[in-house]
Structure 1
């Protein structure tokens, strides 16, 4: 049994473990697997325990980086829970800093923690900002910054903190963004005169092309899902035409949908500025929306257990799990020659291949992109077709006779 870690408010947690078990020692094949940190959280008064799963490391394609981030996520999850974060309620139940006043003479880490309670953002975003501060705090003593106030903190010192934390480039940039938000708030409370993060440069990241499905494989997979896992197929089609993320779709209630107007309302919970948006229901999927709404009460979540309408919301990570179980691990998805198709691309690759099959202007509308650069990221195969077309051009004959 995992060792118990005592937490505030009468709660406790088990020691987190990682899947795959050999994440510290295995080879490069580990990158082909979905990693997960898991532990049980036990609420006060013998409440029902909850299995908590964390997957924030899977976007990293470098094994060393993934290990570093996984180790950090474990440490930060424990630290956040120790200062009052409740992963069941997804909020800090008791925050020692919430009622404290901000002033220029506070220890800078304390000032960071107070500001985090005041910034308007989602609880997920607040938790991630807490991870950032936890990570920086571990290097404070080593760099001799224990007595530095927020007024005294220099850009050079903050840069040293970031560098000494040994962050992968994309996490360095993410932490830099969190800190910039923190300093913007500190300026308003007159704790400092300017945002010292502004002149700390972002790290350059070479974006690797995402693995996507060919149009042929896309069709075969969707046909397989329609025949064998209808509710998942239905959700996938609604998702493709929605212009929304799974995290947003999983919060939609029946009362948010107006079939007559072909519209639905969704709260976009991204970063520090959650906002409500009205999105279009495309005519191609109106029958599928009607199916999901059939028999649903106004407050029912449309994609609850079994991806059907129900009273309780479920975590959008269910989609990744279903995709892994029903598609990636399937031996019954075959091509026209009866050969098994081994799918390694993730669920979002469906959106890539779907948008790739459409004209750019239409793809932009469906995906709710505001510029063509964003859409181009999804339409990887169109670039490949353009390259192949160039290879076949006969341009030498006009120049050389």
Structure 2
């Protein structure tokens, strides 16, 4: 036996002694010969009866967790089967599901961060160790309300809800729930921030990078007009480039699906693509490796972020690298209209494109002010 009997202080806690109400109660036992002591909010109870009932619940819950593989020293569960059942504790179930789902790397990071936030809240509310099948929509809603109380934005709230929905899809597949009730928790209204774009002063600073780190400058110039995300461009394979037809193929997420999408090689950056292909060595698979040249392995996010962060500070650049994509969207919308920009960027909604086309609304208002009234 790894753990001893769970005991309570005061020893006569089950007797109706009024003086016990004002005492500091705690539960204790030994696990692997180390003493474990916890209170879990028992001293917040207002009456003696409440205190006794809550203590009984804590004892039963702790025994149940211990039987399910809970280690009170590490505060983690050891699940020999690494699978979810209706009896798996809530937070452990979320963590196991995160390892089972098939999503992109960026989505997985979001899922894991959401679990961390929910875990902190669930430990305070007492939901962390409740069996997953006994967690109801109202329980999740209570935890989500605390997300807002902790000053997270509406956007963050919606993202956490979305990530929980992905995990609950797995629980539905495992027949723990018949329906994904996370979908019935309403999203909160969210007004996206106005996206930053590069203006002349920052463009000059990016161009000056050519003299200091040519390979990084080349990557950024290609990215600006590539109509792709940074993560997509970093993983472009040499075999997916067709210089004859001036196209390259990326693996793009469309809604909940992934598919190959063909993108054009901008005629003004064509020479840079050719330059990179000439630098290719035997065994190289990706157009961009860790030195921003063709390599066997793709350019990692950490390597790119580190290089850009250094030169951003060095040159006094005030925008993010991703703002180059926003700038391209803004330029297309100004030159050819919002509908063309939407198609080029692969957005399913024009509203999404308008977020990135920063000058679009302002220019539209200016044009409307020039319309000649019919009666003048």
The answer to whether the Cα contact below 8 Å between 2:206 and 2:317 also exists between their aligned partners in 1 is no
Q: What is the Cα deviation at residue 191 of structure 1?
A: 0.6
- The counterpart of 1:369, out of the listed 338, 341, 347, is 347
- The counterpart of 1:265, out of the listed 246, 249, 257, is 249
Q: Secondary structure at the match of 1:192?
A: coil
Q: What is the Cα deviation at residue 394 of structure 1?
A: 6.7
Question: In 1, Cα distance between the equivalents of 2:309 and 2:95?
Answer: 38
TM-score of the superposed pair, with normalisation by structure 1: 0.63
Q: Secondary structure at the match of 2:170?
A: helix
Distance 1:386 1:398, change over 3 A: same
User: In the alignment, does 2:119 pair up with 1:137?
Assistant: yes
TM-score of the superposed pair, with normalisation by structure 2: 0.66
1:384 maps to 362
Distance 1:302 1:164, change over 3 A: same
Question: In 1, Cα distance between the equivalents of 2:80 and 2:226?
Answer: 38
Q: What is the Cα deviation at residue 110 of structure 1?
A: 2.7
Task: Give ranges in structure 1 of 5+ residues lacking alignment.
Answer: 1-81, 85-94, 331-341
1:77 maps to none
Question: In 1, Cα distance between the equivalents of 2:88 and 2:306?
Answer: 45
Q: What is the Cα deviation at residue 328 of structure 1?
A: 5.5
Q: What is the Cα deviation at residue 383 of structure 1?
A: 2.1
Query: Where do 1:196-345 residues align within 5 Å?
Result: 196-214=181-199, 216-217=200-201, 220-221=204-205, 223-226=207-210, 229-268=213-252, 273-296=257-280, 297=282, 299-326=284-311, 329-330=314-315, 343-345=317-319
- Please identify the structure whose Cα radius of gyration is greater: 2
Distance 1:351 1:110, change over 3 A: closer
Task: Give ranges in structure 2 of 5+ residues lacking alignment.
Answer: 1-73
Q: What is the Cα deviation at residue 173 of structure 1?
A: 1.2
Question: In 2, Cα distance between the equivalents of 1:254 and 1:175?
Answer: 36
Higher helix share: 2
Q: RMSD in angstroms over aligned alpha carbons?
A: 3.4
Q: Deviations over 1:250-306 (max 9, x none)?
A: 122322322224332323369975544333334333222111111313534322244
Q: What is the Cα deviation at residue 109 of structure 1?
A: 2.4
The answer to whether the Cα contact below 8 Å between 2:329 and 2:341 also exists between their aligned partners in 1 is yes
Question: In 2, Cα distance between the equivalents of 1:146 and 1:351?
Answer: 41
Question: In 1, Cα distance between the equivalents of 2:340 and 2:80?
Answer: 47
